[in-house]
Amino acid sequence: MTPERPRVLVREPIAQAGVEFLRERFDVDVDGDSDLAERIGSYDAIVIRSATRLTSELIERASRLRVIGRAGVGVDNVDVEAATRRGIVVANAPESTVVSAAEHAIGLLLALCRNIPQAHSELKQGRWERSRYAGIELADKTLGVLGFGRIGQQVARRGDGLGMRVVAYDPFVAPERFRELGVERAETAEAVLSRADFLTLHLPLTDETRGSIGAGA
């Protein structure tokens, strides 16, 4: 008798190649619409992205669940402590979006300093006032980076490539790493805020980082 294959629920869209890879070894359902509380107890593993929130209440219903696969970096939407108590492995893909996130941050920076969204909106309405959208150059400006992990370091590299001075703060990254990348290491977040012409945040959402930046910054 053929043993029953583990069941996997793909709750949010992932690449079709990923779904096919899972189907080589598991019974896979792709379903993002049904009531998760009613279904989660029938699966050995679940694949999510950022929209699905796996609370302790949902995890308690997951009597068979052994693995939570986060197709992405952050696990802020998973109650990791509740999963750990039940012996459920929470796995993510920490390198999967590093370059994309860094490039996106730089793209937003360029859009900001060059007024690209505003100019685009005006052009769509048939208006063009060139003097309003001259913008400013990034060269020789100071880029402040709060959070100098994988993404923050990639943003710093790109900022340096644009001729910016980069100052960063992260108490969990060794000073040697700052020196390797030619980035000034600030002793406090406030020191970054006081010097930055532009600021980019690459922090995990925790009780300590929530509300890090407010109107007073």
Tell me the pLDDT tens digit for each residue of 15-38: 999 999 999 999 999 999 999 999
Residue 75 falls inside a structural domain: yes
**Same domain (yes/no): 78, 145:** no
pLDDT in tens, 65-85: 999 999 988 899 999 999 999
Residue 158 half-sphere exposure toward CB, CA atoms < 13 A: 21
- Which pLDDT value is given to residue 1? 61
Please indicate, yes or no, if residue 195 is contained in any of the structural domains: yes
The one-digit pLDDT tens for each residue of the chain (217 residues) are 667 899 999 999 999 999 999 999 999 999 999 999 999 999 999 999 999 999 999 999 999 999 999 998 889 999 999 999 999 999 999 888 899 999 999 999 999 999 999 999 999 999 988 888 889 999 999 999 999 999 999 999 999 999 999 999 999 999 999 999 999 999 999 999 999 999 999 998 788 888 888 776 6
- Residue 134, domain member (yes or no): no
pLDDT at 95 (0 to 100): 85
Do both 86 and 13 map to the same domain?
yes
The domain boundary, picked from 34, 69, 91, lies at 91
User: How many CA atoms, within 13 angstroms, populate the side-chain half-sphere of residue 50?
Assistant: 6
The pLDDT, as a whole number, for residue 132 is 85
184: left (phi over 0), alpha (psi -120 to 50) or beta: beta
Domain identity same for 145 and 74: no
Q: Is 174 a domain residue?
A: yes
State the residue range of the domain holding 67. Answer: 7-91
Whether residues 13 and 79 share a domain: the answer is: yes
Please give the tally of structural domains in the chain: 2
Per-residue CA distances from 58 to 33, 79, 89, 189 (Å) = 16, 9, 15, 37
Residue 126 maps to a domain? no
Residues 12 and 76 in one domain: yes
CATH number of the domain to which 176 belongs: 3.40.50.720
User: Half-sphere exposure of residue 97, counting CA atoms within 13 Å on the CB side?
Assistant: 13
